[in-house]
Amino acid sequence: MASPAFPGLLLCFAAMVLLIFVSVSAPTWEKISFLDVTVGGRTTHFGVLGFTGSGRSVGYRIDPTVFGLPNTTLDNNVNNVIHSLTFVLILHPIAAGLSALAVLFGLCGAAYSRAGTIFMAFAASLATTVTLVAWIIDMVLWSIFRNSIRSAVAQSQVAQAVGNTSAQYGNAIWLTLGALVALLLASCAGALGSCGRFSRNEKSKGKV
């Protein structure tokens, strides 16, 4: 019979993989990004530690001129808000680390350890909280930037200067949401699993 910790372990592992993918997003891995901005046929991908062609750092400032947009695309106040919020993107690798910790505890729980399953549920709950905050920040940050670009296009500020321009959400936002759902389910599965039977000898003892 499988350990009661097994469902939670699988969900924590899935969340960990998703969050690792997000953590190594652009500029490290261009196929994973939060926002994709296309200007004149050239696409810039934005990730946790920077964007296409930039260096890697915790928190970064977005200069529209770097990827071909006029400097007036972002208001100074908006740019300062975006810059501040990019520091919070570090929550994604933190959530990945907490998910990995939950996986380690889950492995102990899979070996029929009640304590391991309880700690897995606790670590998964922490990871859920961090991932939720990270996802909310994602939606706020990239919606502000996306809407700023679209507003500039609507006012013809960008369209006249550089031609075809678009800003679309990337897959990292939805990967983070998937990890959030997996961690939430893992927390519930771990809490329920901790009440299950863990000793392989319990059944035989009951027959004696």
Q: Render pLDDT for 31-67 as a digit per residue (tens, 0 to 9).
A: 999 999 988 788 999 999 999 989 999 999 998 888 7
pLDDT at 70: 75
pLDDT beyond 80 at 197: no
Query: How large is the average pLDDT for residues 56-81?
Result: 86
Least confident range of 11-20, 25-34, 185-194, 197-206? 197-206
pLDDT beyond 90 at 8: yes
pLDDT at 96: 98
The pair of three-digit structure tokens given for residue 50, joined into one six-digit string: 């920077």
Amino acid identity, residue 199? S
Amino acid identity, residue 82? I
DSSP letters along 105-173, please?
A: HHHHHHTT-HHHHHHHHHHHHHHHHHHHHHHHHHHHHHHHHHHHHHHHHHTTTTHHHHS-EEEEE-HHH
Beta strand pairing status for 35-39 and 42-46? antiparallel
pLDDT averaged over every residue in the chain? 88
Amino acid identity, residue 111? A
Assess contact for 109 and 103: CB atoms under 8 A. no
Q: Render pLDDT for 136-185 as a digit per residue (tens, 0 to 9).
A: 999 999 999 999 888 877 765 555 555 677 899 999 999 999 999 999 99
pLDDT at 163: 60
Q: What is the pTM of this model?
A: 0.89
- Burial category of 192 from C-beta neighbours within 10 Å (exposed 0-12, middle 13-18, buried 19 and up): middle
pLDDT at 206: 41
Amino acid identity, residue 90? I
The partner residues of 37 in beta bridges, in order of sequence, read 44, 167
207 pLDDT band, cuts 50/70/90, is very low
3-state helix, strand, coil in the chain (%, to 5): 65, 10, 30
Q: Render pLDDT for 81-101 as a digit per residue (tens, 0 to 9).
A: 999 999 999 999 999 999 999
